[in-house]
Chains A and B, each alone.
Chain A
Amino acid sequence: MSRKLAVIPEECSGCKMCELVCAIKHFGVNNPKKSAIRVLITYPHPVVRMPVVCSQCKKAPCEDVCPVDAISRRDGVVRLDTGLCISCFHCVESCPFGAIYAHDECEYPIKCDLCGGDPECVKHCPKGALRMVPEYALGESKRLNNVLSYSQMKEIEFVEKGEVQTLRYAEIGKEQS
């Protein structure tokens, strides 16, 4: 089963803990500017806080653009082989999400490798804004929210164990009058 790193921007607080734990894991240094994930913040118009990280695309533009075939996708991860990489940084520019990074002191592009399937950023995000989810579950919360916001929902109140509860339901076959 293929699992994807899902980003939930609505939950992100912009604390950048993901950046720091990523840099510590991959470079062993205290430097959020050496991470493969970055939180972008725009404010006040529009108000967005969003971690930007590799989507491990199945048809990856970075793989296509690499002139020496240093990028290839195996086991659901788009990997950069630093043995082959010539540091032209074409991959950084080709990524439609800007999710591959460069740093003056680093010879190669900085790219997410999903930490072998158990990403540090997911483990340490204090808001649960980063999650590993099965590929089939992508978009599930949006689907659910969409269903719950169905406008013709009705409500009844009932008593369960002495407490008043509300039940919502959609009446089938009747148009809203």
Chain B
Amino acid sequence: MSIKSGYFHKQLHVDLTTGTVERRDLPEDLIERYIGGRGFGAKLVWENLKANDFKIDPLGPGNLLVIAPGPLTGCYVPSSGKNSFISISPATGLYGDSSIGGGFGVELRQSGHDCLSITGAAPELSILFIDDGDVSILPMPFLKGKTCLEAEGLIEKKLGTHALHVATIGVAGENRVRFACVNSDWSRNAGRTGIGAIMGSKNLKAIAVRGTKDLPVFDMNGLAEETRKAIKYMTDHKYFRLWQQQGLMNVIEYANTKGILPTYNFKATTFAAHDKINGETMLEGGYKIGDSACFMCPMCCGNICLVKNGKYAGTVTEGPEYESCAMLGSNLGIERFDAVLAGNRLCDELGIDTISTGSIIGAVIEGYEKGIISLSDLDGKGITWNDDDAILELMGRIARREGIGDILADGSLAIIKQWPEMQKVLLQVKGLEQSAYDSRVGTSMGLAYATSDIGAHHTRAWTIAKEIEEGAAWSAEDKVNLVMYHQAVRPLFDMLGVCRLPWIELGLSERHYEKFYGYVTGNQMTLEELLKLSDDVYNLTRRMNMRLGATRKEDSLPYKVTNAPVLTGPNAGKTLNKQEFERMLSLYYEKRGWDQNGAPPPEVEASF
């Protein structure tokens, strides 16, 4: 079988140093093997690494940033508004990617490009404007220091149209904060791995896109029929209404009940004030004023919230979702929902990742409590749990690199370098701060974090619900199998350019996706064949990380996970057994066909 439709066969390549724009042909075999999204990104970043003899400064002009939707992005497929940003991460120095929902990726595809790659650095702060076939680099120095939200409005005004999508960085990205994010559609974020800092290092404040082209679809009728079946399944699901009402905010209660909710920098995993920051509070407290959905998504998990009174009155934010609410709420001991909303809004404005920000500030509070960080380190401004004023103020100092903010802005690895004892306090893998699911409840989630190619993020594998369901009887082999399956299927969604939530949250069968892919591209592949392609990309990013210096040692767990027992709740007293973890890691390597150092066989590299 071969690709008959679904692609424009075009890669837009921009060199900001020389100001040149090139429309390159995407070869057939690359499209077939790497599908799109993260697949294209990994391949193009790999080529760039090879061309630079594997010596790349993530914040140097030579680092290639790839922005890639997938063949299903923007198509009549449920929740098809996804788009990936791929590069070498300034947080980890290794492969990094982050995806974003909304409509940016749809617009990018409609401009007639399958992916966009950016290299070099502009001489002054600029934006890239893709207006269908017309591509221009426009200097806009007046955007300096503007928040993401301000910048998006100013760009629309300057370009004279509302009918476009903008992805922008905030002051944190300009200042190369290593966990700066890219913000689009006002408050959707590609949050992780510091993509915003890469744009900042390239003097690229924003990318604006307007696209009007038909998206190529091989069999529109077949696709429509399949999608209607899938949407019918989703809307009939017993939890569908709950999703529309609360979005991911319903997870706060689940996480608290099951004892996996990050609380006081993961010292505890249940939060006494959980009911002050949960989905019920959002609804009953009158905070939620509207729903927000990504393109083609019936689930509309975005919550638009407004604080109507008190010191944060007037704060509007899209969010929070679970991760943001947990990391900026319970993880910092925040006991009031309006402060969580204010923190979420501030992160959106500054352009910093809510997960890393919540994790690092939590660690600072604990480090200060333990005497690792002194009051003078903190520029004389003490900080403690539930101290929303000090916490919000510190976010600003991080983004602007003021005082201690200048060190914190360089992320976990720099913090550990400055205060080695912080290694025991920070929760990170490979330099990326851990997301909001505690992994001491069981080894599979620990293995998921440790072996994720971008660091401690749940995007690659999220096995914790199954772990809790199965309990102690769940065998090591089954755990490894599930982690590996997740690491194939979840990135596959990022390659196809669609959201994984219909699958993971509502149980929409993955089988639909082989049909969606077939109807769009005309290339009939089975799910197993697609998963194999996703696994190939996993091998590629692994190989890339090894070439950049990662070894088995980097597939390790945060100190706390193996050494600090959980203080409260159903998992009180638990740590993750290090020996058991190492045994599982060995088994994982073996099953993947990697050696005990975690390296895929050399012939794998040759095939890329």
Nearest residue (CB) in A for B301 is A13
Q: How far is the CA of A103 from the CA of B132 in the complex (A)?
A: 13
Interface status of A17 (Cβ within 8 A of chain B) = yes
Interface status of A86 (Cβ within 8 A of chain B) = no
* B:159-173 near A, CB below 8 Å: 162
Q: Which one, A28, A29, A40, A49, contacts B292 given CB within 8 A? A: A49
CB pair B316 A15 closer than 8 Å? no
CB pair A33 B110 closer than 8 Å? yes
* A:18-37 near B, CB below 8 Å: 20-21, 24, 28-34
CB pair B296 A17 closer than 8 Å? yes
Q: Which one, B186, B214, B224, B235, contacts A44 given CB within 8 A? A: B186
CB pair A127 B215 closer than 8 Å? no
A151 to chain B, nearest CB (A): 18
CB pair A17 B298 closer than 8 Å? yes
CB pair B295 A30 closer than 8 Å? no
For chain A, what secondary structure do more than half of its interface residues adopt (helix, strand, loop), or is it mixed?
loop
CB pair A47 B316 closer than 8 Å? yes
0 or 1 for each of A49-91: is its CB under 8 Å from B? (1 = yes): 1000000000000000000000000000000000000000000
Interface status of A3 (Cβ within 8 A of chain B) = no
0 or 1 for each of A128-145: is its CB under 8 Å from B? (1 = yes): 000000000000000000
Interface status of A154 (Cβ within 8 A of chain B) = no
Q: How far is the CA of A124 from the CA of B224 in the complex (A)?
A: 12
CB pair A30 B74 closer than 8 Å? yes
* B:171-222 near A, CB below 8 Å: 185-187, 211-217, 220
Give chain B residues whose Cβ lies under 8 Å from the Cβ of A14.
291-293
Interface status of A155 (Cβ within 8 A of chain B) = no
Q: How far is the CA of A44 from the CA of B223 in the complex (A)?
A: 35
Q: How far is the CA of A88 from the CA of B215 in the complex (A)?
A: 27
Nearest residue (CB) in B for A49 is B290
A16-B296, A17-B296, A33-B110 known; A28+B220 contact, CB < 8 A: yes
A31-B213, A31-B215, A127-B244 known; A45+B316 contact, CB < 8 A: yes
Q: Which one, A21, A30, A40, A47, contacts B214 given CB within 8 A? A: A30
Give chain A residues whose Cβ lies under 8 Å from the Cβ of B296.
15-17, 20
CB pair B212 A47 closer than 8 Å? no
B519 to chain A, nearest CB (A): 11
Q: How far is the CA of A57 from the CA of B572 in the complex (A)?
A: 66
Q: Which one, A16, A44, A49, A103, contacts B149 given CB within 8 A? A: A44
Interface status of A10 (Cβ within 8 A of chain B) = yes
Q: How far is the CA of A174 from the CA of B585 in the complex (A)?
A: 77
Q: How far is the CA of A28 from the CA of B221 in the complex (A)?
A: 9
A106 to chain B, nearest CB (A): 10
A30-B74, A31-B215, A33-B212 known; A127+B291 contact, CB < 8 A: yes
Nearest residue (CB) in A for B297 is A15
Interface status of B294 (Cβ within 8 A of chain A) = yes
Interface status of B318 (Cβ within 8 A of chain A) = yes
Number of interface residues of A (CB under 8 A): 31
Nearest residue (CB) in B for A10 is B290
Give chain B residues whose Cβ lies under 8 Å from the Cβ of A29.
214-215, 217, 220
Q: How far is the CA of A10 from the CA of B304 in the complex (A)?
A: 12
* A:105-160 near B, CB below 8 Å: 105, 124, 126-127
A13-B300, A45-B316, A126-B235 known; A31+B110 contact, CB < 8 A: yes
Nearest residue (CB) in A for B290 is A47
CB pair B215 A13 closer than 8 Å? no
A30-B75, A127-B291 known; A16+B103 contact, CB < 8 A: yes
Nearest residue (CB) in A for B187 is A43
Give chain A residues whose Cβ lies under 8 Å from the Cβ of B295.
15-16
Interface status of B289 (Cβ within 8 A of chain A) = yes
Interface status of B76 (Cβ within 8 A of chain A) = yes
Interface status of B306 (Cβ within 8 A of chain A) = yes
Interface status of B482 (Cβ within 8 A of chain A) = no
Interface status of A104 (Cβ within 8 A of chain B) = yes
Q: How far is the CA of A105 from the CA of B213 in the complex (A)?
A: 9
Interface status of B584 (Cβ within 8 A of chain A) = no
Give chain B residues whose Cβ lies under 8 Å from the Cβ of A45.
316
Name the residue among B290, B294, B306 with the largest chain A CB count within 10 angstroms. B290
Q: How far is the CA of A11 from the CA of B74 in the complex (A)?
A: 22
Interface status of B231 (Cβ within 8 A of chain A) = yes
Give chain A residues whose Cβ lies under 8 Å from the Cβ of B215.
29-31
Q: Which one, B220, B302, B317, contacts A30 given CB within 8 A? A: B220
A83 to chain B, nearest CB (A): 25
Give chain A residues whose Cβ lies under 8 Å from the Cβ of B217.
29-30
CB pair A15 B304 closer than 8 Å? no
Q: Which one, A15, A30, A126, contacts B76 given CB within 8 A? A: A30
CB pair A43 B224 closer than 8 Å? no
* B:73-97 near A, CB below 8 Å: 74-76
CB pair B214 A43 closer than 8 Å? no
Q: Which one, A21, A43, A103, contacts B318 given CB within 8 A? A: A43
Name the residue among B212, B220, B317 with the largest chain A CB count within 10 angstroms. B212
Instruction: List chain A positions with a Cβ less than 8 A from chain B.
Output: 10-17, 20-21, 24, 28-34, 40-41, 43-45, 47, 49, 103-105, 124, 126-127
12 residue pairs bridging A and B, Cβ less than 8 Å apart:
A13-B297, A15-B293, A15-B298, A29-B217, A30-B214, A30-B216, A30-B217, A33-B211, A43-B304, A43-B316, A45-B316, A103-B212
| 8 further contact pairs, Cβ within 8 A, besides A13-B290, A29-B214, A105-B214 | A15-B297, A29-B217, A33-B211, A47-B289, A47-B306, A49-B290, A104-B212, A127-B298
Instruction: List chain B positions with a Cβ less than 8 A from chain A.
Output: 74-76, 103, 106, 110, 149, 162, 185-187, 211-217, 220, 223-224, 231, 235, 244, 289-298, 300, 302, 304, 306, 316-318
5 closest Cβ pairs, A-B complex: A126-B298, A15-B293, A13-B300, A13-B293, A13-B291
